[in-house]
Amino acid sequence: MDTPSYRERLNRVLRYIENHLDDSPDLEALSAVACFSPYHFHRIFSAMVGESVAAYVRRLRLERAAMQLSLSDVTITQVALAAGYDSLDAFSRAFRAQFKVLPSAYRRNDGPLEQARRYSIGQPLFYHLAPDVPPIDVQIRSFAPMWVATLRYTGPYDDCYPAWETLMAAMQTQGLLTVDTFACAVSHDNPDITPVDKCRMEVCLSLPPGMTANTLAVRNLLQDKRIYLRVIGSNSDYAVIEVNGPYSLLHPAYRSLYWQWLPQSGREPDDDPGFEVYYNSPQSTEPQDLRTGIFIPLLMG
């Protein structure tokens, strides 16, 4: 069942759900996005994704709710309504079933933001999360939009390299991989909240200048239905961290950005996901010499 055509069609559905997370999951509409019959769609979705449409949407909403509890002062009732629950009691039961703790306790004691705040009293949070790394330096920059070839990966972020290999091999076959190819990735989930085997990532490689979806080499690339094009970046502001060292430092850097810098900055993150830019390759660079940029979109101030 796991054919390239099915993967491409399911990827369309996953992107659609992520972009319409506040809408009620309509099997008719989703099956139309996937070009499957409604009768077969939910079975195909469950078989390939590992959970039903309803469970997938419920999990993403609850994970978003956990982030809101950690990163904002929105009331729990407002968070519950935003997650699609008509009552605080129903939301609390669902939240506890997923996270093993009530929303109020998660915010008060168990949420990662509160843990970070407790541990950061008196000195920068970053030292507690990664004592051998200096505090983060955040810059505000724009990032010109660019087209990238993209492959979706689901699983532990540390195990994503086969997805990169697949995308690089496909690009190289079509003569699209050059010394100027730009590598980046969109990480959709927070491993503090989402089970690591369900974390979603899009691995991306830039197209050569002047290449479009109508270029023959790009059309040939897209014959592999796992691969699609998307735009990375915009001319809006981004909070940017340059991380020098092994990739194990990235997660602490995210934590420091979201739980220390943002609350003090007077800025708010935009709804669009951020992305990481990889300035060198772990295949040819020692871990201590790796350079990575973290770009988080900001609402216009």
One domain, residues 147 and 257: yes
H/E run at residue 137: none
Q: Could you give the number of structural domains in the chain? A: 2
pLDDT tens string 211-255: 989 999 999 999 999 999 999 998 889 999 999 999 989 888 887
- The length of the chain, given as a count of residues: 301
Helix (H), strand (E) at residue 123 = none
Query: Do 162 and 28 share a domain, yes or no?
Result: no
Tell whether 143 and 23 lie within a shared domain: no
| Residue 262 domain-assigned (yes or no) | yes
More confident residue, 40 or 231: 231
Same domain, 43 and 142: no
**Among residues 15, 32, 50, which one ends one of the domains?**
50
pLDDT band at 285 (very low <50, low <70, confident <90, very high): very high
- Confidence tier at 26 by pLDDT (50, 70, 90): confident
Instruction: Based on the fold, state whether residues 46 and 181 are members of the same structural domain.
Output: no
pLDDT tens sequence across 82-98: 999 999 999 999 999 99
Using CA atoms, how far apart are residues 167 and 173, in angstroms rounded to an integer?
A: 10
Residue 201, judged by CB atoms within 10 A of its CB (0-12, 13-18, 19+), counts as buried
DSSP string, 204-223: EEEPPTT--TTSHHHHHHTT
CATH of the domain at 279: 3.20.80.10
The residue range of the domain holding 196 is 138-297
Return the SS3 of 156: coil
What does each C-alpha distance from 248 to 133, 170, 260, 288, 296 come to in angstroms?
11, 28, 19, 10, 18
Tell me what pLDDT residue 161 has: 94
Residues 43 and 174 in one domain: no
Question: Mean pLDDT, the chain, as a whole number?
Answer: 85
